Amino acid sequence: MFCRQCEQTGGGKACTVAGVCGKDEKTAILQDALLHLLKGIAICVVKSDIASLKRKQADRFVVEALFSTITNVNFDTETIRNMIFKGYAIKEDLKSNINITGQLGEIADWAPKKNPDELIQQGRKVGVMANPGLNEDIRSLREILLYGLKGMAAYAGHASILGKDDESVNSFFYKVLSATADDSLDADALISMITEFGKVNFKCLEVLDSAHTGHFGHPAPTKVSLGIKQGPAIIVSGHDLLDLEQLLQQTEGKGVNIYTHGEMLPAHGYPNLKKYPHLVGHFGGAWQNQQKEFENIPAAILMTTNCIQKPRESYNANIFTTGLVRWPGVEHVEAKDRAKDFSKVIDKALELKGFKESRSGKDILVGFAHNAVLGVADKVIDAVKTGKIRHFFLVGGCDGAKPGRNYYTEFAQKIPKDCVILTLACGKFRFNTLEFGDINGIPRLLDCGQCNDAYSAIKIAIALARAFECDVNGLPLSLILSWYEQKAVCILLTLLSLGIKNIKLGPTLPAFISPNVLNVLVEKFNIAPITTADNDIDMVLKKKELGV
């Protein structure tokens, strides 16, 4: 086992015995084998130029398989093993229907062993360090591409569930996967592909935004209660809005209160979700607190995508998974033609009877996606031109348990009162309950949504740049990002592809970025690690005053 795809990787270098995330060695090794298989599928598609209509099954499988290997998604060894054999069948079917002169190569011909122990041995030979003599910069660039691809698979997967996809995005999955197995590609070729990757992912984010807004409506500023109501309850965590909608439909009139958790918070801003009166509020904070927050609560819990942690004994019988997320021993709700029957989750909530008494809580604001913010763009632009708003700080990204993330709370608190904070993803839970006030009626804290909604923040920045007739780097805007897993890597590549510079990244830099690759990022984009809140705020504002 050798895994360093997340920020909390062991010793800041790699997890080699078991994952800090809770993944055991066998599952990690089987995921390496699954990724190797995906490269074989990609080689078949790229070398034979298979038409999109003939690879629909492969398209969906590649996205789901990549998504399954993201940190905190699938911890179930048997599920990953079954996925490998499903993928192998898809690959062999592709090969039987194509005409190619010459051999496809060893990776495309790779076949999984049926014996579980032999399959594990195969997986040990195809991981990140399978070729210890590989140039570290090539390895680093391949990892950046692969981890970014996993992130894009998450966004493509959410869009696909709502019936939206894009051929250019689907084709790019094969291009990148095959490139990570191509020894003829040098560092320059891989860097060029990374730039292309960011642009393709921007398209993918656009497709996802269209899927969400087309189905659920455009988010609008909405107050969300952090209190609890007496009665049976289901807490929904993860990212999948369609799962939440189906659950809301199936619980109508049954006396069950629905709460969001973690990255599901932005759901309250969507018109077609907040119309349900039994979507009563938000429970808890970011994903890494779930073991403490779910301890002994009399509620059913539904995990819809990534961000699951090992369930504690006190709620192990009350938690359910659905979609791609899995944990051994946890009951899973399967889909049938995208429809899901959540009756067991609902029955569990009724059995537990829920919270004995109501408890009031703070109200927070969500729903400041691009449509809402750009709807008052003239007011925002006027506030900037008249000096009422001095600067915008995008403080967002993933949260995590590793020490050092209190920096983001301190940073938000110390931002001057004539500045506005944009935020998205679960990093906002470090400060989204604090009081920031407003500037001429414009809230100083604007929650743009999930990590899935990064498109909103980017679109806001691009629109403001046009209004001020400058590029994004000329705006009074600074990006202070936190990262944890592969979706954050994906977003970073998109920001870089748009030419955005001076990004501050933390709490630590990725272990998979080699010194030489880091130097390229520093020289080309002036990307830098966070330092202290005071120093970084002071440096940002002084640079902007000097026009740097």
| pLDDT one-digit tens code per residue, 166-184 | 999 999 999 999 999 999 9
507-520 pLDDT per residue, tens: 999 999 999 999 99
417-441 pLDDT per residue, tens: 999 999 999 999 999 999 999 999 9
271-310 pLDDT per residue, tens: 999 999 999 999 999 999 999 999 999 999 999 999 999 9
Which fold would CATH assign to domain 367-545? Rossmann fold (3.40.50)
Where along the chain do its domains lie?
10-215, 222-352, 367-545
b/e map 201-212, b = 16+ CB within 10 Å? bbbbbbbbbebb
> In angstroms, rounded to a whole number, what is the distance separating the alpha carbons of residues 104 and 123?
20
The pLDDT assigned to 545 comes to 66
The pLDDT assigned to 47 comes to 84
Q: How many residues are present in the chain? A: 548
The pLDDT assigned to 102 comes to 60
**What's the burial of 115, exposed, middle or buried (CB within 10 Å: 0-12/13-18/19+)?**
exposed
Q: Give the 3-state secondary structure of 229-286.
A: CCECEEEEECCCHHHHHHHHHHHCCCCCEEEECHHHHHHHHCHHHHCCCCEEEECCCC
Does the 10-215 domain belong in CATH 1.20.1270.20?
yes
2-15 pLDDT per residue, tens: 999 999 999 999 99
CATH class of 222-352: alpha beta
Q: What angle do CA 227, 372, 449 make, to 5 degrees?
A: 50
> In angstroms, rounded to a whole number, what is the distance separating the alpha carbons of residues 181 and 128?
11
Task: Establish whether domains 222-352 and 367-545 are of one fold.
Answer: yes
pTM: 0.96
